[in-house]
Amino acid sequence: MLGLMQNQPLLISSLIDFADRFHSDTEIVSRRVEGDIHRYTFKECVPRARQVANALDKANLGVGSRVGTLAWNGYRHLELYFGVSGSGRVLHTINPRLIPEQVAWIINHAGDEVLCFDMTFLPIIKAIASHCPGVKLWVAMCDADALPNDTGINQLVSYEAWIGSERSEYPWPMLDEQAAACLCYTSGTTGNPKGVLYSHRSTLLHAYGACLPDSLNMSARDTVLPVVPMFHVNAWGIPYISALTGCKLVFPGAALDGKSVYDLIEAEKVTLAAGVPTVWQMLLGHMEQNNLRFSELKRTVIGGSACPPAMIRAFKETYGVTVLHAWGMTEMSPLGTVCTLKKRHESLSADEQLAINCKQGRPVFGVDMKIVDEEGNTLPHDGKAQGELLVKGPWIVQTYFRGEGGDPLVDGWFPTGDVATIDPEGYLQITDRSKDVIKSGGEWISSIEVENIAMAHAAVAMAACIAMPHPKWDERPLLVVVKKPGAEVTRDALLAFFEGKISKWQVPDDVVFVDAIPLGATGKMQKMKLREELSDYKLPTA
């Protein structure tokens, strides 16, 4: 017997309509690439999203056609989020930190027909336009008079001229909720990037799950600053969450340095910010140097890489801000787990609470997870056994765009490539990427644990722990460190710092000081590249 309830597809257009009707006064504030602050509400945003939809009709883009964006977090990008997907086209966000050849490869692989870009990225567009024959319209996200006429790019129009003459009414089509809504390519450390094609249904379910109290906990009482880019996994779904909940949005544009982010947080009274650890490191550095405090910020979501405990402690003890440590990936829309405490943890000491907060947290309902050993046997959730993490759920990838890489699933589960423990209360702790694991004498050493300890040293700005070949133990850990400007520390002092914090055999064999650790397009340390850079290095005992 079927239930007798209305069957309404879960569509991004229903989010837009909802925002329009029930929180049209929600503010959206953007620091523009032009340098000034732009301010409006959903009342002005939604009609402009409809103008985008009309402009796409005029460009003869069919349902399912891809529209690429190469843009910072800002109001025009938000209008594209809604206008493109709402009208049945697919929004393809592209990471501008990739090299131009990769950007062109992704545009061609995705089959983008329209490409919208911030003026910052005009040099990239100039370099690739002739290599992207499928793009029939290039849209510069600026005013008509800001568009130079000597770009050499055919079919180029300014965003404001493009949508300006369009009608602000649009009948959103009634789509299948399984229809594609957005496309995002993985950072792809090996091989070509792979496209993850989110559906309307997966995007809406993810938005519902992500705003729950034990997830990102966003509501109409919040002012949210997504520093996490809209070109990387849809800024963790925050644009959709704003339409769903009515939380105010503050977009930082291109200015991600500590001072700009701090000034914006204070000026707009941000209550919740979200980003990767490297961004927060710049913010904390700026605040420390200038002895600053937050007036309204209460919570910050940190994910994308492991958040060092020293950062969680600094936010809590010095600035009164609770870190929500979160884990996820492009293939998961991205949210998998978020770390919040349970009622019974409230009576624990600050140190005991910190130990929990350093984990990546419990799964959001909708995400199922398990850990397995090398033979695929399920391991216990005892907080000790570590194995490869597998996930499944309605906002997790089934297969990649154009079938790239074959069937990624193992018995219906998606292998994340992360190695983790899960404790009896369901808290996940990531210990490594499987390709970065250090195996010493048959035992695993968690590179993240070693890095977290190093990062707590006052002289350390960034630390990477990598495996080095060893004749007796197969592999031994090497610590690679970038010192804070003006700070001094010796190899021996740093190694002594590990005493009593981990077992002796887990302490790195040596320390190498470098000027910089290579970072990928999404701000993650590129350990493979680091290992290549240090290929001539020999451990002292090896």
Name which of 74 and 334 has its Cβ closer to ligand AMP.
334
Rule CB under 6 A: is residue 360 a binding residue for ligand AMP? yes
SS3 state of residue 361: strand
Cα 208 from Cα 221, distance rounded (Å): 17
Please give, one letter per residue, the 3-state secondary structure of 420-462: EEECCCCCEEEEEEHHHCEEECCEEECHHHHHHHHHCCCCEEE
499 annotated active-site: no
SS3 state of residue 311: helix
Size of the site for ligand AMP (CB under 6 A): 20
> Under 8 Å CB-to-CB from 226, ≥6 apart: which residues?
73, 235, 236, 238, 239, 249, 251, 273, 274, 275
Name which of 330 and 340 has its Cβ closer to ligand AMP.
330
Name which of 316 and 433 has its Cβ closer to ligand AMP.
433
The residues with which 275 forms a beta bridge, in sequence order, are 302
439 annotated active-site: yes
26 annotated active-site: no
Interface mask (CB under 6 A) for ligand AMP, residues 53-92, using x and -? ----------------------------------------
Figure out which of the listed residues 117, 170, 327, 427 binds ligand AMP, where binding follows CB under 6 A.
327
Name which of 254 and 335 has its Cβ closer to ligand AMP.
335
Rule CB under 6 A: is residue 334 a binding residue for ligand AMP? yes
Catalytic residue among 331, 388, 449, 451: 331
What per-residue string of b and e applies to 140-151 under the rule 16 or more CB within 10 Å gives b? bbbeeeebeeee
Name which of 13 and 186 has its Cβ closer to ligand AMP.
186
Name which of 131 and 433 has its Cβ closer to ligand AMP.
433
Name which of 232 and 457 has its Cβ closer to ligand AMP.
232
**Longest Cα–Cα distance in the chain:** 72
Closest CA to 110 of 201, 11, 197: 197
Q: Which two tokens stand for residue 219?
A: 């509501």
- Which residues 165-224 are close enough to bind ligand AMP by CB under 6 A? 186-187
Contact at 8 Å (CB) between 117 and 138? Answer: yes
Q: How far is CA 149 from CA 139, 153, 270, in A?
A: 13, 9, 39
Tell the smallest beta-carbon distance from residue 306 to ligand AMP (Å).
4
331 annotated active-site: yes
Interface mask (CB under 6 A) for ligand AMP, residues 266-305, using x and -? -------------------------------------xxx
What per-residue string of b and e applies to 477-508 under the rule 16 or more CB within 10 Å gives b? bbbbbebeeeeebeeeebbebbeeebeeebbb
Rule CB under 6 A: is residue 93 a binding residue for ligand AMP? no
Figure out which of the listed residues 217, 245, 330, 386 binds ligand AMP, where binding follows CB under 6 A.
330
Interface mask (CB under 6 A) for ligand AMP, residues 490-529, using x and -? --------------------------------x-------
| CB-CB neighbours of 155 under 10 Å | 13
Catalytic residue among 43, 342, 435, 439: 439
Cα 64 from Cα 88, distance rounded (Å): 6
CA angle 47, 232, 249 (to 5 degrees): 45
Contact at 8 Å (CB) between 11 and 200? Answer: yes
Figure out which of the listed residues 38, 370, 433, 491 binds ligand AMP, where binding follows CB under 6 A.
433
Tell the smallest beta-carbon distance from residue 354 to ligand AMP (Å).
15
Tell the smallest beta-carbon distance from residue 416 to ligand AMP (Å).
5
Q: Which residues bind ligand AMP (CB under 6 A)?
A: 186-187, 233, 303-306, 325-327, 329-330, 334, 360, 416-418, 430, 433, 522
Mind telling me the catalytic residues? 186, 331, 439, 444
